[in-house]
């Protein structure tokens, strides 16, 4: 019987904009979100096909397009295991794609890692060109998850591939810029926390802590073993390590922050990081405040075990309030969205925990998710991979535009309440306008391209006032602004 938590869930605020059917099924490692959260989405199927998903202008409308990409050196009888992509760390330029597969070699399959990267100027980000520039590496182990991480190497940042295998170990592949190729290097040189494993790693997440030289690395194993490590990247010292054993294989671990976005310079953010742990046999849980409590403060995601195994998870801001939600997707064809609630925010008394915001059913088991801006309008789409294909879910553009305008109006009201300092602000007028537009978007994703027109009276120039009237009806108000949200029309909108 469905529990009270699942019964209390509201409707999903996202609508399905498109669905693309696969010719063969994918797996939990078969989706690569657009590098940097933008651009083309890559999905790999078990029978050696890689599809690229994007939106493009067709007849003055934005429409979804799915295209099969012809990556070199993937045999027709190959079974793709995992795929990943990233942009090189500046000042380097270029998109890198990695694909692991197993070639049918009779009695025993032969595993390979292909790394695609084009060094020709002008072609560094062209997927069709990149797909023809391949480094083929034969593996001595069965590959699992292929991911990437940015790490400090000397005085610059490098992005490297990390590949888990059944040996069991994590393997590191780093670019040799002089030879224009990637090479395997000992993982302990850059990631000492990823050694001494006794079980195959099913999921790895490396999270660099903003504004510091430290990182948190979390891994979950087939045996149920979970390890989280706090590492200083400059000294390569492992500062803290926490471990725990859960029942059943670990399908997902994700490090994230629950810090409130409204913290200011006068009251700086507290360094509080959490980790989502999803098991195939147990409810998904979140361990809060890792740096202070380790893996002691456990919060359940209620009802997450009621729809068969949790196969994947995602932590992102879905409701556009600046605070992250936790999404878990199940083999039982359900997508569940959870919100953290502190005391006085939806839970009785002084309790804190996660509550189910909404759930959405699909027609087949769910395998992977990515939150990516496919349309280029600043508002990200949710891509959900099921056994049958890729579902693209979108926000209502009307609601998103209303949210932008509401936040802009709130910023203007806040400026009006603030005491104005006397003096010549002639050169600061447009700077102030730009600043409050930026602050409005800092509360959530940038939802639109804004056209802002300003009118400035002589009084404004002399006194530095900031008003909000209509110049046609009230020409005496200082700075007048009119904001329109210029969304490109999308299919079905």
Q: Where are the domains of the chain?
A: 4-395, 400-485
What percent of the chain has a predicted confidence (pLDDT) above 90?
63
DSSP, collapsed to helix, strand or coil, labels residue 36 as helix
Find all residues with CB under 8 Å of 234, minimum gap 6, and list them. Answer: 152, 213
Residue 401: predicted pLDDT: 87
Rg (CA), the chain: 25
When pLDDT is cut at 50, 70 and 90, the band that residue 258 belongs to is: confident
Quote the pLDDT of residue 370: 96
pLDDT > 70: percent of the chain: 78
> Which SS3 state, helix, strand or coil, does residue 56 take?
strand
Mean pLDDT of 65-70: 94
The predicted model gives 466-474 an average pLDDT of 39
| Maximum CA extent, the chain | 85
Q: Which residues contact 140 (CB under 8 A, 6 or more apart)?
A: 111, 167
What are the tens digits of pLDDT across the range 328-355? 999 999 999 999 987 645 555 556 899 9
Residue holding tokens 């690395």? Answer: 217
**Average pLDDT in the chain:** 83
Contact 361, 333 (CB under 8 A): yes
Torsional sign, CA 468, 471, 472, 477: positive
Q: How far is CA 106 from the centre of its chain?
A: 39
Tell me: pLDDT of 477 over 50: no
Which residues is 302 bridged to in the sheet?
Answer: none
Confidence of residue 480 (pLDDT cuts 50, 70, 90): very low
**Quick one: pLDDT at residue 441?**
47
Query: What distances in angstroms separate CA 299 from CA 282, 285, 339, one per listed residue?
Result: 13, 6, 12
- pLDDT of 343 reads 64
Q: What is the predicted pLDDT for the residue at 458?
A: 37
Q: Between β-strands 181-185 and 201-208, what pairing exists: parallel, antiparallel or unpaired?
A: unpaired
Complete DSSP assignment for 142-204: -EEEEEEEEEEETTEEEEEEEEEETTTEEEEEEEETTTTEEEEE-GGGT-GGG-S-SS-EEEE
Q: What pLDDT does 378 receive?
A: 84
Quote the tokens at residue 13: 């605020």
For residue range 432-446, list pLDDT tens digits in order.
Answer: 545 544 554 444 433
In this predicted structure, the answer to whether residue 243 has a pLDDT above a threshold of 80 is yes
CA dihedral 284, 285, 286, 291 (to 10 degrees): -120
pLDDT in tens, 95-144: 999 999 999 877 789 999 999 999 999 999 999 999 999 999 999 999 99
Class of domain 4-395: mainly beta
Average pLDDT over residues 369-379: 90
pLDDT at 72 over 90: yes
| Model confidence pLDDT, tens digit, residues 278-288 | 999 999 999 99
Beginning with the edge strand found earlier in the chain, give each strand of the sheet holding 353-361 in spatial order. Answer: 310-316, 325-330, 334-341, 353-361
Please determine, for residue 475, whether its predicted confidence score (pLDDT) is greater than 80. no
Please report the pLDDT score of residue 39 as a whole number: 73
Q: Supply the pLDDT for residue 269.
A: 55
Give residue 488's pLDDT: 41
The token duo for 308 is 């068969």
More confident residue, 94 or 259: 94
> pLDDT tens for residues 395-405?
988 888 888 89
> Which of 108, 107, 192, 99 has its CA nearest to residue 143?
99
For residue 384, what pLDDT is reported? Answer: 98
Residue 452 reports pLDDT greater than 50: no
CA distances from 150 to 19, 163, 230, 316, 328 (A): 33, 14, 15, 20, 26
Residue 476 clears pLDDT 90, i.e. is over it: no
User: What does the pLDDT read at residue 163?
Assistant: 99
């Amino acid at each position: 019987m469905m529990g009270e938590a699942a019964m209390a869930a509201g409707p999903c605020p996202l609508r399905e904009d498109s669905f693309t059917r696969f010719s063969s099924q994918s797996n939990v490692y078969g989706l690569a979100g657009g590098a940097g959260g933008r651009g083309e989405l890559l999905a790999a199927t078990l029978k050696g096909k890689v599809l690229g998903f994007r939106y493009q202008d067709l007849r003055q409308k934005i429409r979804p397009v799915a295209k099969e990409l012809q990556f070199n050196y993937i045999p027709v009888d190959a079974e793709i295991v995992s795929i990943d992509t990233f942009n090189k760390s500046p000042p380097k330029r270029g998109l890198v794609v990695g694909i692991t597969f197993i070639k049918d070699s009779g009695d025993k399959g032969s595993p390979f890692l292909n790394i695609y990267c084009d060094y020709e100027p002008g072609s560094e980000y062209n997927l069709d060109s990149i797909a023809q520039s391949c480094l083929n590496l034969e593996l001595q182990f069965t590959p699992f998850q292929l991911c990437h991480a940015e790490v400090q190497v000397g005085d610059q940042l490098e992005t490297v591939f990390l590949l888990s295998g059944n040996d069991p170990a994590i393997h590191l592949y780093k670019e040799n810029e002089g030879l224009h190729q990637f090479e395997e290097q000992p993982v302990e040189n850059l990631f000492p926390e990823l050694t001494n494993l006794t079980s195959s790693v099913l999921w790895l997440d490396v999270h660099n802590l903003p504004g510091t030289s430290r990182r948190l690395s979390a891994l979950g194993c087939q045996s149920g073993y979970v390890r989280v490590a706090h590492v200083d990247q400059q000294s390569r010292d492992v500062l803290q390590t926490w471990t725990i054993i859960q029942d059943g294989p670990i399908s997902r671990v994700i490090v994230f922050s629950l810090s409130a976005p409204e913290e200011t310079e006068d009251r700086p953010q507290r360094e509080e990081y959490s980790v989502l742990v999803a098991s195939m046999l147990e409810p998904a849980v979140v361990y809060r405040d890792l740096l202070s409590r380790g893996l002691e403060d456990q919060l359940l995601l209620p009802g997450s075990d009621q729809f068969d195994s949790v196969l994947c998870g995602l932590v992102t801001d879905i409701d556009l309030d600046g605070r992250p939600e936790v999404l878990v997707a199940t083999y039982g064809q359900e997508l569940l969205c959870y919100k953290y609630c502190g005391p006085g925010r939806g839970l009785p008394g002084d309790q804190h925990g996660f509550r189910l915001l909404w759930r959405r059913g699909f027609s087949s088991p769910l395998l992977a998710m990515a939150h990516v801006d496919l349309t280029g309008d600043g508002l990200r789409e949710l891509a959900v991979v099921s056994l049958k294909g890729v579902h693209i879910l979108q926000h209502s553009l009307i609601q998103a535009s209303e949210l932008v305008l509401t936040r802009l109006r709130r910023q203007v009201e806040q400026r009006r309440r603030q005491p104005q300092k006397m003096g010549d602000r002639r050169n600061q007028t447009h700077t102030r306008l730009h600043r409050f537009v930026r602050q409005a978007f800092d509360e959530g994703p940038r939802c639109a391209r804004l056209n802002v027109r300003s009118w400035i009276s002589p009084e404004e120039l002399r006194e530095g006032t900031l008003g909000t009237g209509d110049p046609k009806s009230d020409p005496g108000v200082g700075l007048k602004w009119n904001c329109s949200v210029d969304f490109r029309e999308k299919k079905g909108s």
